[in-house]
Structure 1
């Protein structure tokens, strides 16, 4: 057996392993609740904070006073507490169904009681459900549904008795029950318990109730003053989070309509037809494409790096589940840079013998046209991906996992953590992923497929590489749009800029939502 044959056998083996590993990861993501639902709750919590703004609730002699009722209805709706409770209960119902489904799947597969991963998944979902019930009870109590709130909290206490991580919930719920039944068993630790285990509007309303019961008017006045400042800031954040996407949606829709009209009129001379159907002169074959994709990307990302990081964690006796937000972000940043460096190195050596490359390969040039394509691609992606995401949500419900960096972005208040997240998502990811999936993969596939086929296949692989089953469809659409921009502009800067703008918009929104829920 010669060296070439051995290399091909190894490539086949690695391909089988990579496909198997990716399939398992996608299946595991199906067992996870979607992070999108948690993100929506963060926005709901912002709305709850905004309800406390006195300009929404008090009459004013100001000539512009009639603006505030209209603004209130637009931002928080007519019944914000009722709407918030409904959203919390819907998520709770969905998560409970997911939990039951996972247990049912494990029973059918004969894995019940034997799989630590299944147990961890169900316990994680159970913890989220407990958090939801804690807050649902406060929403019920604030709407005068005291008996319903007490029933919700009592059921939570009963569940917490059988959980190793249920102590904090047990203590916090006990304090809330005492507050809303006006019992005299409130202790000096009640305030500490509320501050430690509740946040945002829920913490404020619980502390307000505590100060009322304990007859502490000075503390109550200070709390209300603090909440007014927070509520005013939250209103500004809601305006920012709500208005900017709508503006982008409108501009993107108009841009799509305009470009489509121009395509119908000018046909091959239209902007959308620029470089249409023109592939790349690819000097290498499918084997080189496979080496870069399987060895340089999937094997490094899903096999080599986890083993290396696992050895490092074991060597320094680090428990990854106990890392704080900053440590998680630093860990993710180092891991991502490691993947990028190894993958680009393998890419370089895989195609080195074909240097110098034909024109248009890995072209990166700052021009007005490249910037226009990047910004235009981003704006047109907004309405298209939103529509697909709404359809996708109906298909998947609340299962399918999501990007693990999103909850970290929501919870992180550390400026260094935010900076590292920005570097990872908005600079490193666009450069590396566009280089691999558009610069190399898409262009290489045009040797075997028409341009539209290369755009589709590279977009699908790009989506699968993110290992989130619920996001495969919208990410495929986004990947195809990135590929469309690259094939038309023939400039990696365009797709990198579009990618960076997309990730930046998502990350900034998460930062805003997270900062309003403290």
Structure 2
């Protein structure tokens, strides 16, 4: 019989998958005014992030205690992870750009354009979600839960590739060719975070801090380009 904790993890995984991977949260826009729907979407994201943190609190505390004993190792691990993320992001963004030119596609992915427009209207809100809550939620789901459980049943490399692909596809807003090509850019980050997680002995704080730093840098670049 499934324990209450495992039931909670299953509920968390289903809710996140339905609402934010398959875009079920978009239905809110059809049920209420768009402004209210957007704030409710953010509220649901926060609640789900807190719920996921509560479910994983034992592992999170244990992993934090491990880091406290090896602060120097953690610092250099995060630094190397961030450099690795930077290189992977450049490589896959370049690949995405080449594909766009080859296929004659203009513009950028909807995820990027939505982020830019929302940042102009609500910079502080986007900063909090992009730099703190978003990375926390994604690392809890994609690494702490999905990758952790896949590694028990599949080879590490296959697990990393699968989770990287799911991470990239979760940033698509529709099934248009432009969105598929845009997802290629996110594949670099998805693979990098998963590799960092595995190399860090499945300690979520390695990919989490790298993810936060990476998003902060992207946000700073976005803010500068918006001036």
Please state which band the TM-score falls in when normalised by the shorter chain: 0.7 to 0.9
Which of 109, 115, 118 matches 1:405?
A: 115
Structure 2 counterpart of 1:338? 44
Conserved in 2, the CA contact under 8 Å of 1:292 and 1:347?
no
TM-score, L = length of structure 2: 0.74
SS in 2 for 1:381: helix
TM-score, L = length of structure 1: 0.35
Residue 369 and residue 332 in structure 1: after superposition, are their counterparts in 2 closer, same or farther (change >3 A)?
farther
- Once the two structures are TM-superposed, the CA of residue 303 in structure 1 deviates from its matched residue by 5.7
Which of 476, 486, 490 matches 2:197?
A: 486
The reply to whether residue 300 of structure 1 matches residue 19 of structure 2 is: yes
Measured in 1, the distance between the counterparts of 2:97 and 2:145 equals: 31
Measured in 1, the distance between the counterparts of 2:8 and 2:150 equals: 11
Which of 433, 440, 446 matches 2:138?
A: 433
What does the per-residue CA deviation read over 1:448-498, in whole Å, with 9 as the maximum and x for residues that have no partner?
112222211111111111114223222122111111111122322211111
The reply to whether residue 496 of structure 1 matches residue 208 of structure 2 is: yes
- Once the two structures are TM-superposed, the CA of residue 343 in structure 1 deviates from its matched residue by 6.2
The reply to whether residue 363 of structure 1 matches residue 72 of structure 2 is: no
Measured in 2, the distance between the counterparts of 1:339 and 1:362 equals: 25
Structure 2 counterpart of 1:511? 223
- Once the two structures are TM-superposed, the CA of residue 408 in structure 1 deviates from its matched residue by 3.5
Structure 1 counterpart of 2:176? none
What does the per-residue CA deviation read over 1:52-84, in whole Å, with 9 as the maximum and x for residues that have no partner?
xxxxxxxxxxxxxxxxxxxxxxxxxxxxxxxxx
The reply to whether residue 452 of structure 1 matches residue 146 of structure 2 is: no
The answer for unaligned runs of 5 or more in structure 2 is 173-178
Q: How does 1:86-485 map to 2 (within 5 A)?
A: 292-293=12-13, 295-301=14-20, 302=22, 304-308=24-28, 310-313=30-33, 320=34, 332=38, 334-342=40-48, 345=51, 363-364=63-64, 365-366=67-68, 367-397=71-101, 398-399=105-106, 401-403=109-111, 404-409=114-119, 412=120, 417-467=122-172, 468-485=179-196
The answer for unaligned runs of 5 or more in structure 1 is 5-282, 314-319, 324-329
- Once the two structures are TM-superposed, the CA of residue 338 in structure 1 deviates from its matched residue by 1.0
Measured in 1, the distance between the counterparts of 2:213 and 2:137 equals: 15
Measured in 2, the distance between the counterparts of 1:340 and 1:464 equals: 22
- Once the two structures are TM-superposed, the CA of residue 362 in structure 1 deviates from its matched residue by 7.5
Conserved in 2, the CA contact under 8 Å of 1:371 and 1:497?
no
Conserved in 1, the CA contact under 8 Å of 2:89 and 2:189?
yes
Conserved in 1, the CA contact under 8 Å of 2:131 and 2:215?
yes
SS in 2 for 1:447: coil
Measured in 2, the distance between the counterparts of 1:482 and 1:449 equals: 18
What does the per-residue CA deviation read over 1:338-366, in whole Å, with 9 as the maximum and x for residues that have no partner?
134236637967x8xxxx97x78983345
- Once the two structures are TM-superposed, the CA of residue 378 in structure 1 deviates from its matched residue by 1.3
Residue 362 and residue 336 in structure 1: after superposition, are their counterparts in 2 closer, same or farther (change >3 A)?
farther
Residue 442 and residue 407 in structure 1: after superposition, are their counterparts in 2 closer, same or farther (change >3 A)?
same
Residue 447 and residue 429 in structure 1: after superposition, are their counterparts in 2 closer, same or farther (change >3 A)?
same
SS in 2 for 1:459: helix
Conserved in 1, the CA contact under 8 Å of 2:88 and 2:192?
no
Measured in 1, the distance between the counterparts of 2:187 and 2:96 equals: 12
- Once the two structures are TM-superposed, the CA of residue 371 in structure 1 deviates from its matched residue by 2.9
- Once the two structures are TM-superposed, the CA of residue 509 in structure 1 deviates from its matched residue by 0.8
SS in 2 for 1:363: helix
Measured in 1, the distance between the counterparts of 2:44 and 2:8 equals: 22
Conserved in 1, the CA contact under 8 Å of 2:150 and 2:159?
yes
- Once the two structures are TM-superposed, the CA of residue 433 in structure 1 deviates from its matched residue by 0.7
Conserved in 2, the CA contact under 8 Å of 1:300 and 1:342?
no
